[in-house]
Amino acid sequence: MTTTAPAPANAAPIVHEKALVRSWKTPIVLGVFALVGLLMAFVFPASGETTFGLSTERDAIQLAPLVVPTQATVVITSLLLVVAALGALAYVKFGKGHAPLWLSIVFAVLFLVTFLTWVAAGKTIPVPGMLVGTVALSVPLIFGALGGVVSERAGVVNIAIEGQLLFGAFSAAVVGSLTGSPWAGLFAAMVGAVLVSFVLAAFSIKYLVDQVIVGVVLNVLVTGLTSFFYSKVLTSDPAFNKPTKFEVLPIPLLSDIPILGPVLFRQTLIVYLMYIAVFLVWFGLFKTRWGLRVRAVGEHPTAADTVGISVNSTRFWNVSLAGAIVGIGGAYYTLDVVGQFGKEMTNGAGFIALAAVIFGRWDPIRATLAGLLFGFATNLQSVLGIIGSPVPSDFMLMLPYVVTIFAVAGLVGVSRGPAAAGKPYIKS
Amino acid sequence: MSDEQIPGKGQEPEQAVEVEQVPAEQRASGADVPPPPAANRILREIASSSWLLSLLAIVIALVIGSILIAWTDPAVQKAAGYFFSRPADTFKAIWEAIAGAYTSLFQGAIYNPKRGDFINAIKPLTETLTFATPLIAAGLGVALTFRVGMFNIGGRGQILIAAAAAGWVSWSFELPPFLHILFATLAALIGGAVWAGIAGVLKARTGAHEVILTIMLNYVAYYLISYLLKTPGALQAPGSNTPKSPPALESAIFPTLSDLIGVGSYRVNLGFILAILATVWLWYLLNRSSMGFRFRAVGENPHAARTAGISVKSTYVLAMVLSGALLGLAGASQVLGTTTTGFAAGVDAGIGFDAITVALLGRSRPWGVFFSGLLFGALKAGGYTMQASEGIPIDIVLVVQSVIVLLIAAPPLVRAVFRLPSPDATATVRPAKATAKKVVTK
């Protein structure tokens, strides 16, 4: 206690230099897509009318289907796309150097309208059905991505999202069937996925095994275990695979909103949990002491350790928390959308969730949007398959992965993860 | 109070010693080279721990497999229902379940005396070699990237692209037998190399992590091949509606052992010889060539390698390309060796992921990979027999395989289970830490 803080040699005020970095990538990408829009409008014009179905029979407020002339609409929206791209250009040139996120979202919606109108010339697109399908496919992706964000922000790379989803789905199916209670199933899904997380955390934190190796091997292990029990136990005794599903809980008033009401507010408990989870993870990570600690441990564990944060236990418990979040997503398969367990039923969703984490730049809100985008792309291919479209479905399914490759390669914005993710912390 | 202070005082000198040691080591090496990244150090440790640990890991994994088999066996469950009145029945049932499983595993993988004469009885062994062929080739590819400090998780995509390339050559051209095999195999090697090269170039040019890149490229390749298999004029068999390719021409198919010696129906083929050659080649490359030296130098410490004048980026690209070529060989052995009557999008058969476990069990050494490929080939061949005769799902092989690899990746865990002493050789990095750990585990 005899040491005194040395007096600063020069007490001149520190002047923060603010470098203005102009990022041209957004306008370039938007420009390319605007060109595609112009191609659809003028080079490959489609004739006829496009019908957008806006209501289903169950809706309280019935909307008449929206019928638009295909060619005129495509021309107008593609010109709007050009305007939006030029707007992004102006933002970068004269504004803060970055095109705002909302502009990209507006552009994406406009582009979708253009594309759907063009592709469904002379046919009907059921808009509510398409959006409901999008949410159904996105829910596990979003839970997986949230778990991935928490785990990676704490400094542990989570390749095992796929395994956590699968084991969550399996546990929910078995426990939900045996107890007859979806609540018990949901709890079991969280516990099951946390168990996978425990292995990931124990091996990567205590035994310093490379996190990628543990993640990859855990996926194989969970696939093997669940497939083994599925073939050996669940198929021979169906009583193990008849979980009680969560019932749809329409929220009064909100569920009567046209189009969006049935999509967002006529869902099961798990979907409402997702809204809460997205908010809580965002709020927790960026507005609370817990979040600050998690991010410190993931970015600079040595500094975090110096100020008295226990790096390894923070990592351990947050990887476990991430498992619990992913587990809810797994339960969504067996307690909501599918209703029973199937062999390898997650079918790569964990890897799309991983892609959403990266494409969402390790941010809960952006990762959620990325999950929605990927869910939409996956759902769009089945809608297009039904109405018959010129774009092969395989390329729509490929989209999330290609987008992620572009994202990590820095071709579309820089995607940089937490600095210490993937590195075990060895206290010296 | 004093009790609390003593360990506190005891720790301080240790930490002080360590802090002094690190710069001393750096000074001794004579350059301002930062220490290698943790991943490189860990991969090296995996490669250098002893064979005993591998054996023990296999034992533990087989025990876990036995527990699963006994637990789900109907006879055991029935006997366990009256365990307290006649416990011997339960143990007998457990014994029968496990013995039956491992007997059929052995009969499916090595030798089955029930099949009559020697020519038929030894067929399971040749099946093991057949299953091991792509595992060895793919395992070598993954091991090569491990030695350079990278992960190639993209085996699936590389095998698919290679299979498509080899398949296309195998039915599109009419060539003399030897040349046709040569060209089809070369096409596979190039296909795998190009697909892996994409990841390598992107890593080198943009710094993107190769794990993410290769995982994503797996799916891109899968959907690309699915599309091509559905498109007439691309990979789809003419006049067919199913997403399946035409069969390979006879001249492009790897000759099997039975073609050579004229007896039996052995499926093991030229691919196995190629896998042996690839093992020898990789051994030579890594241990005797200057390129292999550069690979290993980058794998040990990329910072030091860069200081020594090695181009780390081009090493990454080259290693990825060669790794992809080896995975391409696995793809060739699938479409030219075993699945010759036309393939679907599942032609990779999970080999790309199995290869990671093969490489880890083989400790990234060429001959280690060879023997671990044989072991996993035997598990696969035996697993199918076990599924058919005992009703035990083949998925148990995945469980055993992944448990083996998890344990091998964590030597301290295996040591803790068997109460083995920690080897001093690995403790040189941080002596204080290692001793502290030993106390904790005991």
Residues forming a β-bridge with A51: A67, A124
Contacts of B43 in chain A (CB under 8 A): 210
On the question of pLDDT at A86 being above 60, the answer is yes
A389 min Cα distance to partner chain B (Å) = 14
* pLDDT-based confidence at residue B417 (cuts at 50, 70, 90): confident
Counted across chains A and B, CB pairs separated by less than 8 A come out at 156
Task: Look at B402 and A224 and tell me if their CB atoms are within 8 Å.
Answer: yes
On the question of pLDDT at B441 being above 90, the answer is no
Task: Look at A224 and B19 and tell me if their CB atoms are within 8 Å.
Answer: no
Q: Identify the pLDDT of residue B161.
A: 96
On the question of pLDDT at B431 being above 50, the answer is no
B16 to chain A, any CB pair closer than 8 A? The answer is no
B433 to chain A, any CB pair closer than 8 A? The answer is yes
Among A13-17, A416-420, B245-249, B330-334, the least confident range? A13-17
Contacts of A209 in chain B (CB under 8 A): 42, 406, 409-410
Pick the more confident residue, A242 or B44.
A242
In this complex, the residue of A157, A216, A221 whose CB is nearest that of residue B153 is: A216
Task: Look at A224 and B18 and tell me if their CB atoms are within 8 Å.
Answer: no
In this complex, the residue of B19, B212, B223 whose CB is nearest that of residue A408 is: B212
B412 to chain A, any CB pair closer than 8 A? The answer is yes
Q: Identify the pLDDT of residue B207.
A: 79
Task: Look at B207 and A410 and tell me if their CB atoms are within 8 Å.
Answer: yes
On the question of pLDDT at B439 being above 60, the answer is no
Q: Go through the domains of chain B in sequence order and give each one's CATH number.
A: 119-389 (1.10.3470)
On the question of pLDDT at B41 being above 50, the answer is yes
Q: Identify the pLDDT of residue B315.
A: 94
Q: Identify the pLDDT of residue B305.
A: 92
The answer for residues whose C-beta is within 8 angstroms of residue B203's C-beta and 6 or more apart is: B150, B209, B210, B213, B316, B317, B320
Q: What is the pLDDT of residues B264-296, one digit of tens each?
A: 888 889 999 999 999 999 999 999 999 999 999
How high is the mean pLDDT of chain B?
Answer: 83
Q: Identify the pLDDT of residue B47.
A: 55
* pLDDT-based confidence at residue A160 (cuts at 50, 70, 90): very high
A384 to chain B, any CB pair closer than 8 A? The answer is no
Cβ–Cβ under 8 Å, residues B377 and B128: yes
Pick the more confident residue, B15 or B177.
B177
Q: What is the pLDDT of residues B46-104, one digit of tens each?
A: 555 567 788 888 899 999 999 999 988 888 888 888 888 888 888 888 998 899 999 99
B206 to chain A, any CB pair closer than 8 A? The answer is yes
Pick the more confident residue, B10 or B209.
B209
Q: What phi-psi label fits residue B308: left (phi over 0), alpha (psi between -120 and 50 degrees) or beta?
A: alpha
In this complex, the residue of B217, B360, B399 whose CB is nearest that of residue A228 is: B399
Q: Identify the pLDDT of residue B177.
A: 83
How high is the mean pLDDT of chain A?
Answer: 85
Pick the more confident residue, A152 or B417.
A152
On the question of pLDDT at B374 being above 90, the answer is yes
Q: What is the pLDDT of residues A170-180, one digit of tens each?
A: 999 999 999 98
pLDDT over 70, % of chain A: 91
Section A262-279 average pLDDT: 91
Cβ–Cβ under 8 Å, residues A53 and A126: yes
On the question of pLDDT at A201 being above 90, the answer is yes
Residue of B60, B68, B195, B219 to mutate, testing the A interface (most A Cβ within 10 Å of its Cβ): B219
* pLDDT-based confidence at residue B160 (cuts at 50, 70, 90): very high
* pLDDT-based confidence at residue A16 (cuts at 50, 70, 90): low
A358 to chain B, any CB pair closer than 8 A? The answer is yes
Q: Identify the pLDDT of residue A225.
A: 94
A45 to chain B, any CB pair closer than 8 A? The answer is no
A306 to chain B, any CB pair closer than 8 A? The answer is no
Section A28-39 average pLDDT: 85
Q: Please, which residues 395-414 of chain A have a Cβ atom closer than 8 Å to chain B?
A: 395, 397-398, 400-402, 404-405, 408-411
B84 min Cα distance to partner chain A (Å) = 24
On the question of pLDDT at B24 being above 50, the answer is no
Q: What is the pLDDT of residues A342-394, one digit of tens each?
A: 888 988 899 889 988 988 889 999 899 989 988 888 888 778 777 766 677 78
* Per-domain residue ranges of chain A: 25-122, 129-367
Q: What is the pLDDT of residues A68-82, one digit of tens each?
A: 888 888 888 889 999
Q: Identify the pLDDT of residue A390.
A: 67
Section B359-383 average pLDDT: 92
Q: Identify the pLDDT of residue B33.
A: 67
Q: Identify the pLDDT of residue B130.
A: 94
**Residues B83-96: b if buried by 16+ CB within 10 A, e if exposed:** eeeeeebbeebbee
Task: Look at A404 and B18 and tell me if their CB atoms are within 8 Å.
Answer: no
Q: What is the pLDDT of residues B171-224, one digit of tens each?
A: 988 888 889 999 999 999 999 999 999 999 998 888 788 888 998 999 999 999
B143 min Cα distance to partner chain A (Å) = 13
